[in-house]
Chains A and B, each alone.
Chain A
Amino acid sequence: MNTKNEKLSIIIAGLIIGLVAPILVFKGNPVNMGFCIACFIRDTAGGLGLHRAGAVQYIRPEIIGIVLGSLIMALCRKEFNANGGSSPLTRFILGAFVAIGALMFLGCPFRMILRLAGGDLNAVFGLIGFIIGILCGVFFLKKGYSLGKTAKLKLLEGLNFSILQIFVLILLILAPGFIFFSEAGAGPGALHAPIILSLVIGIIVGGIAQRNRVCMVGGIRNVVLYNDWNLLIGFIAIFASALILNNIFQFTVAETLNKSFFKLGFEGQAIAHTDGLWNALGMVLVGFASVLLGGCPLRQLVLAGEGNTDSAITVLGIFAGAAFAHNFALASSGNGPTENGKIAVIAGIIICVIIAIFNTFYKKEK
């Protein structure tokens, strides 16, 4: 089995994916948030009016692109496979808590790496929490956790999620009156790269991630379970290339653009807060729930593009969770976490434990 090529391929994939965030910031995306699956799904939920937080309403073409990029790559490689039916409602709930945990920390695992590469040391607490969450999930995997078998489905069922993305893209382009756009200066939702660039970059990331199975959770999980470092090396490559390009931009164009690409420290980081405990606990929830789901939010989007409806349901859960997070004041801001958010994260961790216990020790079908 040729794992050397597999390793090289994932390093190259990681290096390419790491470049996209600084490029997107350079072209208009928010500083310290060039690419974030949870934040961008939250923005899209706002754009479609599922929440009314005026600062974060914009249909992000990057999300659409990832799904379509994965679909295209899967079709080209004859790997498109319509399947699903493995505890969909449980996955929806876990997906919602992934969003709530991520919006406590203010970022998905992908953005966590990008924040580290931008010098945001608050993300170190997020990383510690993320690893703890993954270890919690791995504990249950080793005890026999399973959400059940998937089944083959009809072609259209597997394609539905991608078709939905095309519909949402049309809404973004036509911009009818019922679609929400953050007003200039309102917040991160108003900051975005040109649609075509965001879409193309999303397609590239989706294709590469499908080809190489890039997964932030899988990297650490595979090291713990099998001492397999392949996926984690991709993770490190993302960090390395984003770090280098951020610093190149910092020393060349940052002043002209009046944007910061690299700022080492805890204080004054864009779209981030300094509460270490809740940064960590938010990512404990993300890591734990993601292991129970079998992949990070980026991986869920990619699998949804490949025809996996369980992952599509998970993404819809993230979408709903992100909307709840703003409707119920669960999401943190630069000022720190909210009381509601703290309760929701603790509740989420408890619910993950309950789901894990029931699907590990009491999983006989009735």
Chain B
Amino acid sequence: MKLIATVHSHFGAMHIKKILSKYNINSQMAPVPRFLSSSCGTCVIFDYEKVFPTENIPDDIEKIVKILDNNKYEILYLAEN
């Protein structure tokens, strides 16, 4: 499944990409898609086939969503603040 992590800053995206590469998960940084947010920041797009863990999420991350069809998405994780 294709997941997108939106982050607080470009630096945060770089950090997440680094963590994912440690686990051999391919990822790419890109502008946040419009349907996901009105922010024009950076997100990290990656493929992940297992059940997504919702613990120990780095605090750079705002939210993680699973991309569905027709610009729809399912929120897997949403930071408290």
Residues in chain A within 8 A of chain B (CB atoms): 1-3, 6, 9, 74, 77, 79, 81, 141, 144-152, 210, 212-213, 215, 218, 222, 225-226, 228, 230-231, 294-295, 299, 306
Contact = CB atoms under 8 A, between A and B. Distances in A.
A299 B40 contact: yes
Nearest to A5: B71
A295 B39 CA distance: 10
Given A147-B9, A222-B31, A228-B30, A294 B38 contact: no
Interface stretch (B10-18, B19-27, B46-54): B10-18
A1 B31 contact: no
B31 A226 contact: yes
Contacts of A146: 8-12
Contacts of B40: 213, 215, 218, 231, 294-295, 299
Given A6-B34, A150-B8, A299-B40, 13 more contacts: A9-B34, A77-B38, A141-B11, A146-B9, A149-B9, A149-B59, A212-B34, A215-B40, A218-B40, A225-B10, A226-B29, A226-B30, A306-B38
A149 B59 CA distance: 10
A299 B42 CA distance: 16
A294 B40 CA distance: 8
A147 B41 CA distance: 13
Given A228-B30, A228-B31, A230-B31, A79 B11 contact: no
Contacts of B81: 151-152
Given A210-B38, A218-B40, A306-B38, A1 B33 contact: yes
**Nearest 8 CB-CB pairs, A to B?**
A146-B11, A146-B9, A149-B8, A79-B38, A213-B40, A144-B11, A141-B10, A218-B40
Contacts of B8: 146, 149-150
A152 B42 CA distance: 19
Given A150-B8, A226-B30, A74 B71 contact: no
B34 A213 contact: yes
Contacts of A144: 11, 14
B67 interface: yes
Contacts of B70: 2
Contacts of A226: 29-31
Interface centre among A79, A144, A152, A295 (most CB of B within 10 A): A144
Interface string B47-81: 00000000000010000000100110000000001
Contacts of B38: 74, 77, 79, 81, 210, 213, 306
B10 A145 contact: yes
A150 B41 CA distance: 13
16 contacts: A1-B33, A1-B67, A6-B34, A81-B38, A141-B10, A144-B14, A146-B12, A147-B9, A148-B9, A149-B59, A222-B31, A226-B29, A226-B30, A226-B31, A228-B30, A299-B40
Contacts of B10: 141, 145-146, 225
Contacts of A9: 34
Contacts of A151: 81
Nearest to B33: A1
Contacts of A2: 35, 70-71
B3 to A, nearest CB: 12
Contacts of B41: 294
Contacts of B31: 218, 222, 226, 228, 230-231
